[in-house]
Amino acid sequence: MRDLVTAAGDVDILVNNAGIWSTPEPTEQISEATLWASYWANVIAPFLLTGALAPRMARRGHGAIVNIGSITGFIGGDKSALYNSTKAAVHSLTKSWAAEYGPAGVRVNAVAPGPIATERAAESADHVAPVLARIPSRRMSTPDEVAAAVLFLASDEAANIHGAVLSVDGGWAAT
């Protein structure tokens, strides 16, 4: 991690976007390897990156961190305990880091996308239809809509937004 921090130099914006999604399955059928891989990618990697870069931002008195959570971090789901719990952890870390680094001028927020219109989603039309019926906008978000939310939270226009988890979900969280 030290080599990464040295090579990166002064970072003004960090977007913790890497992660893995696991196929819904009963808790008792999830292997330890899958459990650790999911937590490593979705929780531990952002934790380590933020821990390495946020203090440097704080010393300079400014910076923005945007974590990518998920609408699933707010809701329960049958056979979705693993993925949902990792995203709930990201939401909680966002609020904790906002409290920790905010006084030093570092803003920490998150975007919580709902279903996104991707090729993978298009291949799962039978799964998508019932989901769309529960979304007030009756459509999935586009990748550009999610990116716009990230850009906004990273921008100076969001200068006094700290610890927010912005849902980009067509209103799903409201139902």
Cite the active site residues.
83
Encoded tokens for 14 = 């960090």
- Structural contact between residues 116 and 131, judged by C-beta atoms closer than 8 angstroms: no
In terms of Cα–Cα distance, which of 160, 62, 168, 74 is closest to 113?
168
* CA–CA–CA angle 122, 81, 79 (5° rounding): 60
What Å distances lie between residue 99 and 13, 47, 88, 109, CA to CA?
A: 17, 15, 17, 11
Place of tokens 């990518």: 68
